[in-house]
Copies of this chain bind each other. A is one copy, B any other.
Amino acid sequence: MSRPVEAWVPIDDRGLAYGDGLFETVLVRDGTPLLWSRHKARMSRGAEILGLPVPSDAELDRLPGMAGAGLKVLKLILTRGSGGPGYAAPYPAKPRLLWQLSHFAPQPVRWERGIKVRLCRLRLGIQPALAGLKHLNRLENVLARSEWNDPDVAEGLLCDSQGDLVEATSMNLFWWRQERWETPRLDRCGVAGTLRDALMERLRIEEVSMGTEVLAEAECVWLGNSVQGLWPVVRLDDAEGNLQYRWQLKREHRALQDIAHELLGYPVVPKS
C-alpha cells in the first residue's frame, strides 16, 4: 500500500488539509515497541472507521527496530494522501505513512510524588462517530492545553459538553472509589489509550459517566498513557487556580501503577 515512508506532505495531503488521518505515539525500548499490537489495532480500527487502507504489518513492524538502543518515541502518522478539492475522498486513496523517532526521557519524580492538575474550561464536543480514535483533529486538545502555562501544572482535566469527565489533554483518567477502579466512558469523545485498554484487560475497571463531583469520593486519582506511564494526581485546581481536591499517596494505591509500569518496562516505584 501507500507510498514509501516519507517525512513531508504536500499542501494537498488530506491529513494536512482536513486532519483526515490517524496517529500513534509508541514507546520503544532498545528497538522493541511497547504495547505494539494495541497501537496497531487502534490504528486499524480508526482506518476502518475513516475508510482508509491500513499499512501492512510488515511495513509497520520494521520501524521500531530502527530506533537503536535506548528509550525512544516512535510517532506514526497515517493520512489519506493527496486529494483534489473538496471533502470527497480520492478513490482509490493512496495513503501516506509518516514516522519519526525521538529520544524520550520519562519523569520519575512524577511517578513517585505525583502531579498537580487543573480543570480545563474547554468542554469536549460530543461526536460518537470519532470517539476513542486517535485521529488528527486535535484542536480541542490544543485549545485546552493552551489554558495554562504554569509548569507546576502537569495536565488538564477535560469534561464533555454535558459535564461528564472524559480524560486529560493527553492522558486517560482513573480513580479508586468504593473499593473499585473507575475510568470515564469514551463512547462520545476522547481517545481510548492503549495503556488504558491493557489495564482494563488486567484489572476490573468500570467505565462510568460522571461529572467532576465523583472525584470528591475518590481515594486516589491517576493519569496515564503508553509513553509516560502512570502519574498519581495529588492536587486538582479549578480553571481559576483554586484548590478543589487533594489526595494522599498511599502504598496500597500503587497497584495500578505497578501493572502499568510492568506493561511498559518501567521500574516499580518505591512505596512511600
Residues on B with beta carbons closer than 8 Å to the beta carbon of A138: 17-20, 87, 137
Q: How many copies does the complex hold?
A: 2
Residues on B with beta carbons closer than 8 Å to the beta carbon of A13: 16
Minimum CB distance partner of A25 in chain B: B85
Which chain A residues numbered 110 to 155 have a C-beta less than 8 Å away from chain B? 122, 124-127, 129-130, 135-146
Size range of the chain A interface in the assembly: 35 or more
Residue A270 CB within 8 A of the other chain: no
1/0 contact trace for A255-271 toward B, CB 8 Å? 00000000000000000
Contact B143 A16 (CB under 8 A): no
Residue A37 CB within 8 A of the other chain: no
Contact A86 B9 (CB under 8 A): no
Which of A12, A51, A124, A136 has most chain B Cβ within 10 Å? A136
Known: A8-B10, A98-B11, A137-B139. Is A86-B18 also a contact (CB below 8 A)? no
Contact B16 A9 (CB under 8 A): yes
1/0 contact trace for A76-110 toward B, CB 8 Å? 01010000011111000000001110100000000
1/0 contact trace for A179-218 toward B, CB 8 Å? 0000000000100000000000000000000000000000
Residue A15 CB within 8 A of the other chain: yes
CB distance from A271 to the nearest CB of B (A): 29
Residue A23 CB within 8 A of the other chain: yes
